[in-house]
């Protein structure tokens, strides 16, 4: 019997990471052969851009479950304190009208404009996230990405050795938002965790710098010294050569590997243009070696 051949095509969008995926409709069940192509591309390219997708929340959730369990978002102003598997990233209220810029949801969503990795403040950080475009502005509102893997590979050997055994403390609130009321005190205390500064993908053994705005101190270092080092590493990862800015099109769905990339939202005229994207987040597993093989349906 002939082995089924996938009709998916994959084309690089950046010399170091990011690939465009076409030839598949993710809103219907994905065959095992097609999922193998997607899984391999995800581990290789770190960020996948799927064109011409038109998800409902239900079909987006169903596709995400190919990779494993989905996270339930933490309650915060951006989801009206009503968390679920879908997080709506928008400047619109339930009535479809623009939210005022000082609305708690809008203030909360500005945190997404900092470089970060989703859920790094959880004991088991997220594997991946996907954003599906429902409404995109004609100007601005890109999502920026940076490759911690490509940046790590360019470090001198002695620098890699110096970072190899360092552990960072991650907090849910960013360093300059410690007094933010977007989360309650119990959540802030519960979501203080540690992760290695260098993470390894168990599928291919490739290492990446795991930093960003949630990473705030180095265990065993004075807080200011550790914060300075983490800021330096984040600045290194987000240099132009490790950087990709995604201009959204209708029907785009973008999936990224939280283990080895950083991302941030970019601003746009939030009082003039509408923007609405739906995010799902695929939970990680402990230890990372649990993802050394393709997830089983």
Phi/psi for 130 (5° steps) reads -135, 135
- Taking the C-alpha atoms of residue 18 and residue 8, their distance in angstroms, rounded to an integer, is 16
Q: Residue 97 CB: number of other CB atoms within 10 A?
A: 10
Q: Give domain limits for the chain.
A: 9-160+240-289
Give the bridge partners for 264, in sequence order.
Answer: 144
For 222-257, write each residue's pLDDT tens digit. Answer: 999 999 999 999 999 999 999 999 999 999 999 999
CATH class of 9-160+240-289: alpha beta
CA atoms within 13 A on the CB side of 59: 12
* pLDDT (average), residues 213-217: 97
Q: What is the pLDDT of residues 28-40, one digit of tens each?
A: 999 999 999 999 9
The average confidence (pLDDT) of the chain is: 90
Let me know the angle formed at the C-alpha of 128 by 40 and 89, rounded to the nearest 5 degrees. Answer: 135
Instruction: Name the band, by pLDDT with cuts 50, 70 and 90, for residue 287.
Output: low
Are 60 and 121 in contact, with CB atoms under 8 Å apart? no
| Strand bridging mode 253-257 / 243-246 | unpaired
Compute the 3-state secondary structure of the chain and give helix, strand, coil in percent, each to the nearest 5: 25, 25, 50
Tokens of 266: 């970019």
Q: What is the mean pLDDT of residues 117-132?
A: 96
Nearest to 258 by CA among 235, 233, 278, 288: 288
pLDDT band at 82 (very low <50, low <70, confident <90, very high): confident
The H or E element containing residue 185 is helix 185-190
Partnered with residue 41 across adjacent β-strands are none
Which phi and psi (to 5°) does residue 62 adopt? -60, -40
> 273 or 183: whose pLDDT is higher?
273
HSE-up of 287 (CA within 13 Å, CB side)?
Answer: 7
From the list 254, 265, 44, 41, the residue with the least C-alpha distance to 147 is 44
Band (pLDDT 50/70/90 cuts) for residue 108 is confident
Q: Please give the backbone phi and psi of residue 173, each rounded to the nearest 5 degrees, phi first.
A: -85, 140
Q: Encode pLDDT of 11-27 as tens digits.
A: 999 999 999 999 999 99
Classify residue 92 as exposed, middle or buried by CB count within 10 Å of its CB (0-12, 13-18, 19+): middle
How many other C-beta atoms are found inside a 10 Å radius of the C-beta of residue 153?
Answer: 15
- CB-based burial label for 197 (10 Å; 0-12, 13-18, 19+): buried
What are the C-alpha distances in Å from 130 to residues 67, 70, 127? Answer: 11, 11, 11
Q: Tell me: pLDDT of 62 over 90.
A: yes
Q: Residues of 244-263 as b/e, b for ≥16 C-beta within 10 angstroms? A: bebebeeebbbbbbbbbbbb
Q: Which of 35, 72, 30, 33 is nearest to 55 (CA)?
A: 30
Least reliable range by pLDDT among 126-140, 168-182, 188-202: 168-182
pTM over 0.95: no
């Amino acid at each position: 019997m002939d082995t089924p051949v996938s009709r998916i095509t994959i084309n690089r969008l950046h010399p170091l990471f990011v690939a465009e995926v076409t030839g598949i409709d993710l809103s219907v069940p994905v065959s095992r052969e097609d999922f193998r192509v997607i899984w391999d591309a995800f581990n290789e390219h770190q960020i996948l851009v799927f064109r011409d997708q038109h998800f409902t929340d239900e079909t987006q959730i169903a596709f995400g479950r190919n990779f494993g369990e989905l996270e339930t978002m933490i309650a915060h102003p951006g989801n009206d304190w009503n968390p679920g598997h879908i997080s709506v990233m928008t400047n619109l209220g339930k009535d479809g009208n623009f939210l005022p810029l000082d609305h708690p949801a809008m203030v909360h969503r500005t945190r997404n404009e900092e470089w970060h990795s989703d859920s790094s403040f959880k004991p088991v950080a997220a594997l991946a996230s996907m954003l599906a475009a429902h409404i995109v502005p004609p100007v601005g509102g890109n999502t920026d990405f940076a490759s911690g893997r490509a940046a790590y590979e360019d470090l001198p050997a002695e620098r890699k050795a110096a970072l190899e055994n360092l552990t960072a403390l991650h907090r849910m609130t960013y360093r300059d938002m410690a007094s933010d009321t977007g989360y309650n005190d119990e959540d802030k205390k519960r979501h203080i965790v540690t992760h290695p500064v260098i993470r390894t993908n168990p599928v291919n053994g490739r290492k990446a710098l795991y930093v960003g705005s949630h990473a705030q101190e180095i265990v065993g270092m004075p807080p200011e010294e550790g914060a300075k080092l983490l800021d330096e590493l984040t600045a290194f990862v987000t240099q132009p050569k490790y950087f990709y800015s995604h201009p959204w099109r209708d029907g785009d769905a973008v999936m990224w590997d939280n283990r080895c990339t950083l991302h941030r939202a970019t601003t746009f005229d939030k009082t003039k243009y509408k923007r609405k994207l739906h995010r799902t987040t695929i939970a990680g597993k402990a230890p990372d070696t649990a993802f050394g093989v393709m997830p089983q349906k």
